[in-house]
């Protein structure tokens, strides 16, 4: 009985999730997640005084993203950019937004001496086509692509706000456009009544606006899992964070990975810098710099960033070396040890480990990958999802992930709710920091389990069950489970999907040296 009361007390005292993080003014934090937004995922955090106000801000944010996308998208054949692209040698009157973006591309092409160019898509297609044919591009193909990039692709007339499309080179409104749209979406959210602050994170590039300081984790490019330890942790207020890297996209040719980030001046993939993160007051600056710094040398990057007021950066080279600007350390969050005031002295697995049973083989880890069910071209709310580990007695060992919108509907994750009622409260990670990373594809998420429980204690070797559950408020429900022997021998499982999770894979493997 005393043990049961202790569990109840721990669970009641733990943080009460997204909509109950309250500031001094009585405002609360509301979190929304969507897939298929600008070809990636969207996390929106709103600090407001009521659910109704947060939902108005959510609507304003989505409406602004849609409006900007209908103007700037390179992939929507009906967008204003796509319609203009189909014209040749004609002065076309264009919107202020498209004119500004084209002007910014001109500016950054000059600033970087050609390292950032919208027509780099020409080179990217050469590498993609060669990859599909399982070969390297020829020197002739690359020379032709670089020559195409070097041409003038448009001419702007500021007085009449017209643009003349002058070449047939493929153009992609990438680099900083995602950050550009996120900034305008954040401004739209702040325009809603009762909203004090907003954080708009589109695929790893995020904007923080208003009376709020956001903790931002920068993904480690060598350990790209949702729950992986960040390579840096920042505190950001009224700034933008953008990260570019080669670890989520690219092509595989003859067993080697080639980055999707290419140097428009040479036609070659940029592979010396595997991650570049920039913090800047202006979103377009952060996005443009993050891409450019992945191409330029560290010395060139330092000179370029020094010309942008308020900008700071961190580079990660392929050998693991980190290079940071002089003001980067001022952005880093102070480290703090997790509190143990409300934790029991030991966990279930600690008791087992102390009994002399062999521990987890620390040369191995489990990778869990889930693919959410998506419909191309349609934005969808992310379902409630829980991923956790149970032991042979069906006792929860480790909560890997928990995604939700409203805590009052958490009990619709029925299996996780049962497990949570038995769970000894370790570190509560359900209110997550924002994450800045290379752009992710929509709907695909990877997690690692290193064989520790919720307290960070190594578990015993043996049989455990991986649990994956998905649900919607009063809607669809899905539960996947797979028992596995974690005994130091590799194994893989592919789990069939259903309505919310299209598929899941489990890979218990030896760590790379």
What per-residue confidence (pLDDT) applies to 174? 85
User: How many other CB atoms are there within 10 angstroms of residue 339's CB atom?
Assistant: 8
Closest CA to 74 of 40, 110, 37, 121: 121
Q: Which helix (H) or strand (E) holds 244?
A: strand 240-245
Q: First vs last Cα of the chain: how many Å apart?
A: 48
What per-residue confidence (pLDDT) applies to 376? 83
What per-residue confidence (pLDDT) applies to 35? 95
Class of domain 74-172+243-336: alpha beta
The residues pairing with 368 across neighbouring beta strands, listed in sequence order, are 447, 506
Q: Print burial letters for 130-149: b (CB count within 10 Å at least 16), e (below 16).
A: bbeeeeebeeebbebbbebb
Instruction: Determine the 3-state secondary structure of 495 from DSSP.
Output: strand
Instruction: Determine the 3-state secondary structure of 438 from DSSP.
Output: coil
Backbone angles phi, psi at 101, to 5 degrees: -65, -45
Between CA 434 and CA 450 the distance in angstroms is 22
Q: The whole model's pTM is what?
A: 0.87
What per-residue confidence (pLDDT) applies to 422? 76
Q: Are 163 and 154 in contact (CB under 8 A)?
A: yes
Instruction: Determine the 3-state secondary structure of 344 from DSSP.
Output: coil
Looking at the chain, which residues constitute the CATH 3.10.520.10 domain(s)?
A: 74-172+243-336
Between CA 179 and CA 200 the distance in angstroms is 9
Instruction: Determine the 3-state secondary structure of 57 from DSSP.
Output: helix
Looking at the chain, which residues constitute the CATH 2.60.40 domain(s)?
A: 348-510
Closest CA to 42 of 150, 146, 189: 189
- Give the torsion through C-alpha atoms of 12, 15, 20, 25, to 10 deg: 110
CATH of 348-510, one of 1.10.10, 2.60.40, 1.10.287, 1.20.950: 2.60.40
What per-residue confidence (pLDDT) applies to 15? 31
What per-residue confidence (pLDDT) applies to 357? 60
Q: Are 261 and 294 in contact (CB under 8 A)?
A: yes
Between CA 121 and CA 293 the distance in angstroms is 18
Backbone angles phi, psi at 203, to 5 degrees: 65, 20
513 residues of the chain, pLDDT tens digit each: 333 333 333 333 333 334 444 444 678 999 999 999 999 999 999 999 999 999 999 999 999 999 999 999 999 999 999 999 999 999 999 999 999 999 999 999 999 999 999 999 999 999 999 999 999 999 999 999 999 999 999 999 999 999 999 999 999 988 899 999 999 999 999 999 999 999 999 999 999 999 999 999 999 998 878 888 899 999 999 999 999 998 778 899 998 999 999 999 999 999 899 999 999 999 999 999 999 999 999 999 999 999 999 999 999 999 999 999 999 999 999 865 443 333 333 444 444 444 556 788 989 999 999 999 998 888 999 999 999 999 999 999 999 999 888 777 888 999 998 888 876 654 444 456 799 998 888 999 999 999 999 888 999 999 999 999 999 988 899 999 999 999 999 999 999 998 999 999 999 999 987
What per-residue confidence (pLDDT) applies to 282? 97
């Amino acid at each position: 009985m005393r043990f049961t009361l202790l569990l109840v007390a721990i669970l009641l005292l733990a943080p009460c999730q997204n909509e109950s993080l309250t500031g001094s003014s009585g405002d609360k934090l509301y979190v929304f997640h969507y897939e298929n937004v600008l070809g990636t995922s969207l996390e929106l955090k709103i600090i407001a005084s009521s659910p109704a106000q947060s939902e108005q801000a959510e609507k304003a944010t989505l409406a602004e993203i849609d409006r900007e996308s209908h103007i700037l998208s390179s992939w929507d054949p009906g967008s204003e950019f796509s319609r203009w692209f189909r014209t040749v040698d004609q002065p076309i009157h264009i919107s202020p937004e498209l004119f500004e973006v084209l002007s910014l591309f001109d500016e950054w092409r000059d600033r970087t001496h050609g390292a950032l160019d919208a027509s780099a898509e020409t080179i990217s297609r050469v590498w993609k086509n060669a990859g599909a044919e399982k070969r390297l591009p020829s020197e002739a193909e690359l020379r032709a692509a670089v020559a195409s990039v070097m041409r003038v692709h448009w001419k702007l007339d500021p007085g009449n706000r017209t643009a003349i499309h002058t070449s047939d080179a493929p153009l992609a409104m990438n680099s900083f456009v995602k950050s550009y749209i996120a900034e305008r979406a954040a401004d739209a959210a702040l325009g809603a009544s009762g909203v004090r602050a907003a954080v708009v994170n589109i695929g790893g590039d995020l904007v923080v606006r208003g009376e709020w300081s956001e903790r931002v984790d920068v993904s480690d490019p060598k350990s790209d899992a949702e729950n992986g330890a960040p390579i840096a942790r920042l505190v950001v207020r009224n700034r933008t964070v953008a990260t570019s890297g080669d670890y989520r996209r690219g092509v595989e040719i003859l067993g080697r990975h080639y980055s999707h980030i290419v140097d428009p001046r040479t036609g070659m993939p940029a592979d010396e810098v595997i991650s570049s993160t920039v913090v800047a007051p202006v979103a377009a600056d952060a996005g443009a710099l993050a891409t450019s710094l992945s191409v330029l040398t560290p010395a060139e990057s330092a000179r370029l960033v020094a010309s942008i007021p308020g900008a700071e950066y961190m580079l990660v080279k392929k050998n693991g070396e980190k290079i940071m600007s002089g003001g980067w350390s001022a952005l880093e969050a102070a480290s703090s040890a997790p509190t143990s005031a409300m934790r029991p002295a030991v966990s279930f697995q600690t008791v087992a480990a102390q009994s002399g049973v062999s521990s987890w083989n620390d040369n191995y880890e489990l990778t869990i990958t889930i693919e959410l069910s998506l419909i191309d071209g349609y934005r969808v709310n992310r379902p409630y999802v829980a991923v956790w580990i149970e032991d042979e007695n069906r006792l929860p060992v480790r909560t890997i992930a928990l995604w939700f919108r409203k805590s009052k509907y958490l009990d619709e994750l029925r299996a996780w709710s049962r497990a949570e009622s038995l769970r000894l409260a370790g570190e509560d990670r359900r209110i997550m920091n924002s994450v800045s990373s290379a752009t992710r594809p929509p709907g695909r998420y990877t997690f690692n389990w290193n064989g520790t429980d919720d307290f960070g204690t190594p578990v015993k070797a043996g049989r455990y069950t991986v649990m994956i559950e998905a649900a919607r408020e009063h809607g669809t429900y899905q539960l996947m489970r797979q028992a596995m022997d974690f005994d130091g021998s590799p194994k893989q499982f592919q789990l069939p999907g259903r309505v919310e999770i299209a598929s899941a894979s489990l890979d218990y493997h030896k760590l790379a040296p």
